[in-house]
Structure 1
Amino acid sequence: MDTVNEMLKCRGCRTISFRRVIRDYESAYPVDERNDEWHVPEDVTNYPSILEGHKELGDIWEVPAIVRDIYTQSVQAIKEQSNTLAGIGLRATIEAICNDQSIKGRTLEKRIDALAKGGLISQKDAERLHAIRFLGNDAAHEIKRADAANLLIALRIIDHLLVTIYILDNEANGRLDTIIKTFDQFEALLDKKLPELSPGDEVPLAKIFGRDVRRFHGYLSAHEAELLSRISNGSYSKLAVGKVAKYAGSREQLQHFIVV
């Protein structure tokens, strides 16, 4: 028996890791008698554990803790070849995403369908998530050990889901002109635009937002109604309600607002 301890550094990402190789010479056997070649069984341990064929998400910290924790535990279970637990964990990761996104449903089947109906994922993505649901159900209810290759495929699907729902949105916001759906986003952009105007200016929202008005994509009317309500109840004080009139040759009468 021979033990070799090594410190390794990846030539790509420069990550440092530890490797232990235990060679069992007593169990060696010949593989080529003519050249006197022998195979010596080796037990190789890496720390941190590695998962061949999988590239770890570099921006995993962008994912909420409720999702990140169960995801990282599932990845570790795959690395440790705890395939039954890994199958359950990947299914639980989908549950955690639904919880974080406030997706309702009596069963995970219904919640996955709701993810697609709500536009968070495509119908094709939903079909893939159902496959992971089956895999997790088999592991949880039948104590069935998932195939390692299938787990890697399922992990790639979960990675794609995390990138789609969390990581790409966080990268795009503030850099790309993304669609503004919520009133909080509307108010943040409004507050950013108002300093470009002077107190007393009376203009419609289209003038205030300029080319950014395209980002509301059908949500502007709802945001305007909410703004009027908040001005009326005193919870928004940077604007006052103005006249309703045409502006700069517009075809329709537009609600104006006065910069306070």
Structure 2
Amino acid sequence: MSEDFNRSQKENDTKGKIYRLPCVRCSIETRHLCLQSVDVSWDERSLGMWGHDAYQIVQCQGCESVTFRHSGWFSEDREVVTRLYPHRSEDNVQAKDFYNVPQKIRAVYQEAVDCFNQQMVILCAAGLRAVVDGICAEKGIKKGPVLVQQKDGSFSSAQRSGLDGKIGGLAEKNFISSATAAALHEHRFLGNDAVHKLDAPGVHDLRIAIKLLENVMESLYEMPDMVEHLRTARERKAATAKRNKS
């Protein structure tokens, strides 16, 4: 290390300090407690430059999530820059906990949400499309009806094995409604544009797409389990009442 370079370090100078930061889980700004910290000051005499970096482990005082905060500045730009890891803001989406969605589909959905929160919108769109494709595969749908425009401008139905056909197949087999199929088609177009044309979708459009897809997974995988739970509870209650009467 150059003799002109000086570096000093101090531990836990900001330990116990409270910061108001966007929480990675609460999705709102909350109080965060600094659990551990390292402050580093440096200067490069030969270049006439100096700066300061603060590294902190912080914990949300609501959900208790532990994350990382870094802030720093240097002489050429005195504005303090703060970064949070994982990246988040009040616009982040909190991934839902799905207990009956197949693990592979759930993992891709989680990665798509992570990409959204990391502002990787093209990868997020491609991930959402992959979730739709995964749902079709899990339901055993290999093809389905698609409206094809003819030369005279009219439309006719044809079987297709692409993702558009598979979505049609989900509706044809009554896994989803026609309205839900239309929503899934919106996901398909979003992913196609992002992957094949390298078009970056809008954040607002992606947020709506995520919510729509969550509703689809809720309907396909979570609601049947809820209905079964209610049916079992009702039958158990009826059986208990019958025993009490006898």
TM range, normalised to the smaller chain? 0.5 to 0.7
Please give the residue correspondences for 1:46-125 in structure 2 after superposition, counting only pairs within 5 Å.
46-47=85-86, 52-58=91-97, 60-105=98-143, 106-125=161-180
Following TM superposition, by how much is the alpha carbon of 1:117 offset from its aligned partner in structure 2, in angstroms?
Answer: 2.5
User: Matched residues in 1 for 2:201 and 2:163: separation?
Assistant: 19
- Give the structure with the higher percent strand: 2
Post-superposition Cα deviations, 1:200-238, rounded to whole Å, max 9, x if no partner, equal: xxxxxxxxxxxxxxxxxxxxxxxxxxxxxxxxxxxxxxx
User: Matched residues in 2 for 1:48 and 1:83: separation?
Assistant: 14
User: Matched residues in 2 for 1:177 and 1:120: separation?
Assistant: 23
For normalisation by structure 1, the TM-score amounts to 0.56
Asked if residue 151 in structure 1 is aligned to residue 206 in structure 2, the reply is yes
Query: Structure 2 residue aligned with 1:142, among 197, 203, 211?
Result: 197
- Give the structure with the higher percent helix: 1
Post-superposition Cα deviations, 1:23-75, rounded to whole Å, max 9, x if no partner, equal: 436434xxxxxxxxxxx4433223385773523213x2321023112111211
Partner SS for 1:44: strand
User: Matched residues in 1 for 2:173 and 2:196: separation?
Assistant: 29
Post-superposition Cα deviations, 1:134-166, rounded to whole Å, max 9, x if no partner, equal: 110011111222222221111111111111111
Q: Percent identity?
A: 23
User: Matched residues in 2 for 1:81 and 1:146: separation?
Assistant: 11
The answer to whether the 8 A contact 2:95-2:113 is kept is: no
Q: What number of residue pairs does the alignment pair up?
A: 167
User: Matched residues in 1 for 2:218 and 2:96: separation?
Assistant: 8
Give the gaps of 5 or more residues in structure 2. Answer: 1-51, 144-160, 240-246
The answer to whether the 8 A contact 1:17-1:46 is kept is: no
Query: Structure 2 residue aligned with 1:8, among 41, 59, 69?
Result: 59
**Bigger-Rg structure (1/2):** 1
User: Matched residues in 1 for 2:132 and 2:90: separation?
Assistant: 21
Give the gaps of 5 or more residues in structure 1. Answer: 29-39, 179-188, 197-260
User: Matched residues in 1 for 2:179 and 2:91: separation?
Assistant: 26
Following TM superposition, by how much is the alpha carbon of 1:119 offset from its aligned partner in structure 2, in angstroms?
Answer: 2.2
The answer to whether the 8 A contact 1:63-1:162 is kept is: yes
